[in-house]
A and B are shown apart, each in its own frame.
Chain A
Amino acid sequence: MGRERKVSEVSRRQRGVRQKGDGASPGDGLTLGMKIQDLSAFYGSFKALTDVSIDIQANKVTALIGPSGCGKSTFIRCLNRMHEVIPGARAEGHVMLGEQDIYAKSADPVNIRRRVGMVFQKPNPFSKSIYENVAWGARINGYRGNMDELVERSLKHAALWEEVKDRLKESGHGLSGGQQQRLCIARTLAVEPEVILMDEPASSLDPVSTQKIEDTMDQLKQSYTVVIVTHNMQQAARISDYTGFFYIENMGDPGRLWEFDETEKMFSNPDRKETEDYVTGRFG
């Protein structure tokens, strides 16, 4: 108890926490939003996504819904330049992270991926200890602060600390599915991103774990911008502030953003018929 109080007495700047006007985070020091303009994505010659333009609001949760194969996962992977990791894949268009176009020639994809973190559908912890899982990303990015503190803080923000604090040296694989996913969230938080992308993070988990992850997301949006792809519409309605609906008309067409608005409107009174059909469960 006493030790915790001492830690908080050390100034936030000394502990390496991002400050207002730090230079690392422009604007008011809170996290950044993203502005996407005319984004198209290709797998080789196949166009999977066409002309998506969307404003992701800072410190809000934006949910992306739509039937399978409409390009939601492709879209979200373009936001941290993970799409091009697949051989033959490429994206065209502009994605602004704050003031910076992440697809500019001068942009560094490695740095972008630290600032825009991603949690995947199936938990993929490293074959290392729980501590190392969280610490590794920070270490290779040159974290200069106290690593023990960072690990503890990240695990706490991911709502996993209480369950693992006595077994940090054990393998990450020894955790349950829900715990592994929260570990993946913790390691994403450890590199202090501005945006957190989540590609169906709870779809492979049981309802209890899903609830825990959803609670976490509510906490996360206070410090980060969150974009989540989900097939679970109740989940989207519950946790998000804004919702985007992706859709394709015919098989083989590229996916496009069909409608985007505040969640309440999307689920009660959407503009477009396909959106309404989808959220009311008439298809998809």
Chain B
Amino acid sequence: MTQSGAKAERQADAGGSNFKASASGRYGLDKAFTVLVTGAALVGIVVLMVLLVDVIRDGSTMLSLKFLTSFPSQIFPEDGGIYPALIGSLWLLGLTALISVPLGLGAAVYLEEYAEDTRINRMIEVNISNLAGVPSVIYGLLGLGIFVQVLAPVTGGTSVLTGALTLSLLILPVIIVATREALRAIPGSIREGGYALGATRWEVIWSHLLPMALPGALTGIILALSRAIGEAAPILVVGVSLYQTYATTGPFDGYMALPTQIYDWISRPQQIFQDSAAAGIVVAMAVLLVANSFAIWLRNRYQQRL
């Protein structure tokens, strides 16, 4: 290349003929986009903050240890509390987790690792995603028919076990889909490495695939259980109590629940019930926070192992 040719190239490089000299328009667009995206995130956070502040302010008059340990009362509402609903929701949360997590993980492992890629299995895959979108009250109707009526001898009719079984059906699709995605993300070379050492399929799944899929699966489980604890429609259909004189002590007992108790209070006109409802919402969110924090801690523990 001649001297003058090289010089000409450098001149063009210095923002001469071939490229637009000023990049300020592009930087402007970049900045605008950053602002928009941050704003979108802030909208969600601000709305949540406003909700929290509003609810805490309204419920602060009723929030107390007495509130957490008392039964609701229509005659003396200022002495009323959320105790049976809290216990009932905790029972629901625990039983639902115990039922849906193994079932969901097992179904996902079967569909992803054992089932062959046939048309039937592809149909199943599509339909499981659809099931996640079915209105929750429909699951309530399903639970009413199967668990409350047909399986009454096993479940005890309108017991907290029935409620948990119904909610498990509701959230199973979400868990299955999240776990499948997590399993799919594991490269096939891990499986091959396991088989090449003389391992059975189950040994590879249990020792390698499930631990690696756990962070992704836990994300789905967190979302699913959070949804379950807040659902009122399906448990109304399968017989949650709107008032009980006792708190749930076993899986075959009746139960109250936080969302239905809050709904009950909100539909009464007196201010004291509105305040009780706000306090109830705070309690419900606290339960959610604790449950989610535990699951997130569990997820982080497994993620670090990688």
Contact = CB atoms under 8 A, between A and B. Distances in A.
B228 to A, nearest CB: 30
Interface stretch (A60-68, A119-127, A228-236, A271-279): A119-127
Contact of B306 (A113, A127, A137): A127
B197 A136 contact: yes
Contact of A114 (B193, B198, B208): B198
A15 B228 CA distance: 55
A184 B116 contact: no
Contact of A126 (B117, B190, B200): B190
A184 B190 CA distance: 11
Contacts of A184: 193
Interface string B254-297: 00000000000000000000000000000000000000000000
B189 A137 contact: no
Contacts of B190: 124, 126-127
Interface string B113-135: 00011000000000000000000
A110 B306 CA distance: 27
Most chain B CB neighbours (cut-off 10 Å) among A120, A136, A173, A184: A136
A187 to B, nearest CB: 7
A120 B197 contact: no
Contacts of A141: 197-198
Contacts of B187: 124
A112 B193 CA distance: 14
* Interface size classification for chain A: 20 to 34
B195 A113 contact: yes
A171 interface: yes
Interface string A102-117: 0000000011111101
Contacts of A110: 198-200
A191 interface: yes
Nearest to B304: A171
Contact of A85 (B195, B211, B305): B195
A87 interface: yes
Interface in A126-140: 126-128, 136-137, 140
Given A110-B198, A191-B198, A124 B192 contact: yes
A118 interface: yes
Nearest to A121: B189
Given A82-B192, A87-B117, A171-B306, A126 B208 contact: yes
Contacts of A113: 195-199
Nearest to A129: B305
A188 interface: yes
Interface in B195-220: 195-200, 203, 207-208, 211-212
* Interface size classification for chain B: 20 to 34
Nearest to B117: A87
A115 B187 CA distance: 24
A117 B93 CA distance: 47
Contacts of A188: 196-197
A124 B306 contact: no
Interface in B7-61: none
A40 interface: no
Most chain B CB neighbours (cut-off 10 Å) among A125, A128, A140, A188: A140
A189 B217 CA distance: 34
A41 B208 CA distance: 29
A137 B208 contact: no
A122 B196 contact: no
A125 B211 CA distance: 15
Interface string A33-65: 000000000000000000000000000000000
Given A85-B192, A124-B189, A117 B117 contact: no
B117 to A, nearest CB: 7
B306 A118 contact: no
A87 B207 contact: no
Most chain A CB neighbours (cut-off 10 Å) among B189, B196, B207: B196
A218 B140 CA distance: 68
Nearest to A122: B189
Contacts of A87: 116-117
B199 A137 contact: yes
A191 B211 CA distance: 23
Given A82-B196, A111-B198, A187-B197, A120 B117 contact: no
8 A-B pairs with least C-beta separation: A114-B198, A137-B197, A124-B189, A118-B196, A113-B198, A124-B193, A127-B306, A140-B203
23 contacts: A80-B196, A85-B191, A87-B116, A110-B198, A113-B196, A113-B197, A113-B198, A114-B197, A120-B189, A120-B193, A122-B189, A124-B187, A124-B189, A124-B190, A124-B192, A124-B193, A125-B193, A126-B190, A128-B305, A140-B197, A140-B207, A141-B198, A171-B305
Given A82-B195, A120-B189, A124-B193, 7 more contacts: A118-B196, A127-B190, A127-B211, A136-B207, A140-B199, A171-B305, A171-B306
Interface of A: 80, 82, 85, 87, 110-115, 117-118, 120, 122, 124-128, 136-137, 140-141, 171, 173, 184, 187-188, 191
